[in-house]
Amino acid sequence: MPKEAIVRTIGVKKSFMLGKVPLHVLKGIDLEILKGEYISIMGPSGSGKTTLFNMIGGLDKPSEGKVYIDEVDIAQLDAYELAWLRCRKIGYIFQTFNLIPVMSALENVMLPMIFGGLSTDDAREKAKALLETVGLGHRVNHKPFELSGGQQQRVAIARALANDPAIILADEPTGNLDLKTGKEIINLLREMNKEKGVSIITATHDLKMLDVSDRVIWIRDGMIERVEDRENITIKVGEVEGEEAG
């Protein structure tokens, strides 16, 4: 039996109006991402990764084309269904962490569960367990500003996992982290992907991601340049890293 597609985009275009001039950011993206895959969307800054991330995550509407999450056309959803989808089906991770500043690590992780209708006690227990999993069991009561960037991103990962989503979308999750911390975050994501079977889609230009990805989708100027699977990537890694070093 072929694996089910968890995300499918058909001819997704997005343009922004800059004054009277339209800026075409996505120029027709066709993608199929399977359940349990670890996908990296690679491309230079400004190529449209974040914009694509927003389309796939139901955080913005495409100008043209369709996005299917688990075979459901998300353009057809009403506000309540969309909120449910964002709450239950998708976990989001941002480059800037986007934790709620007034809430402790624990409360941040509890929030999506509260929105999902879980009781406070159940949410607290589960949030504690998740923070343990990401290695922050000892910092549950700290506020984001009391945590390092890497620790904040771990909280964000725990938060993204809160409602056992089918998909984790991560937009440059290592973009604000140093090399070593970035690597730890990547490994953590890979672990979650293996253990929980959650599909991971990261937009990134961090070449460290290549190692762990099942497939890499290269985009340039709002179009898919090429898609590579794991076997081809491993050959390429040395090449690209050599390039970067040179």
Partner 1 sequence: MEQKKIEKQLSLPLKNAIQMSFRNMRVRFGRAIIITMSILLGIAFLMSVLTGNAFTMSLIHKGPEEIKVLLMADILEVKTRQVWLVSLSLLVCTVGIVNAMLMSVTERSREIGTMKCLGALDKFIVELFLLESLAHGIVGSIAGCLIGILTMTVVYLIQYGGLIIKIFPLGVILKYMLLSILLGTFLAVIGALYPAYVSSKMEPAEAIRREV
Could you say which of 9, 40, 47, 54 contacts partner 1 (CB under 8 A)? 54
Distance CA 151, CA 169 (A): 18
Q: How many H-runs (helices) and E-runs (strands) does the chain carry?
A: 7, 10
Q: By C-beta, is 63 or 95 nearer to Mg ion?
A: 95
Residue 8 near which of partner 1, ligand ADP, Mg ion, none (CB within 5-8 Å, type-dependent): none
Smallest distance from partner 1 to CB 114, Å: 6
Contacts (Cβ under 8 Å, ≥6 apart) of 168: 90, 91, 92, 93, 157, 160, 161, 189, 192, 193, 198, 199, 200, 201
Smallest distance from partner 1 to CB 181, Å: 22
Kindly report the backbone phi and psi dihedral angles of residue 106, in degrees, each rounded to the nearest multiple of 5, phi listed first. -60, -45
Smallest distance from partner 1 to CB 49, Å: 13
Q: By C-beta, is 50 or 104 nearer to Mg ion?
A: 50
x/- mask, partner 1, residues 96-135, rule CB under 8 A, reads --xxxxxx---x---xx-xxxx------------------
Smallest distance from ligand ADP to CB 62, Å: 13
Give, in order, the Cα–Cα distances in Å from 206 to each of 111, 125, 233, 239: 29, 34, 14, 14
Span of 47-55, 122-130, 156-164, 223-231 interacting with Mg ion by CB under 5 A:
47-55
Instruction: Give the residues lining the site for ligand ADP (CB under 6 A).
Output: 16, 23, 25, 43, 45-51
Q: Supply angle C-alpha 205, 209, 36, rounded to 5.
A: 120
Query: Which of positions 57-76 make contact with partner 1 (CB under 8 A)?
Result: 57, 59-61, 70-72
Span of 41-49, 62-70, 121-129, 221-229 interacting with Mg ion by CB under 5 A:
41-49
Q: Find out whether 109 and 157 touch, Cβ atoms under 8 Å.
A: no
Could you say which of 13, 35, 66, 88 contacts partner 1 (CB under 8 A)? 88
Count of beta carbons in the 10 Å neighbourhood of residue 80? 8
DSSP state, 211?
G
Distance CA 142, CA 213 (A): 32
Residues written for the chain: 246
Residue 48 near which of ligand ADP, partner 1, Mg ion, none (CB within 5-8 Å, type-dependent): ligand ADP
50 binds Mg ion (CB under 5 A): yes
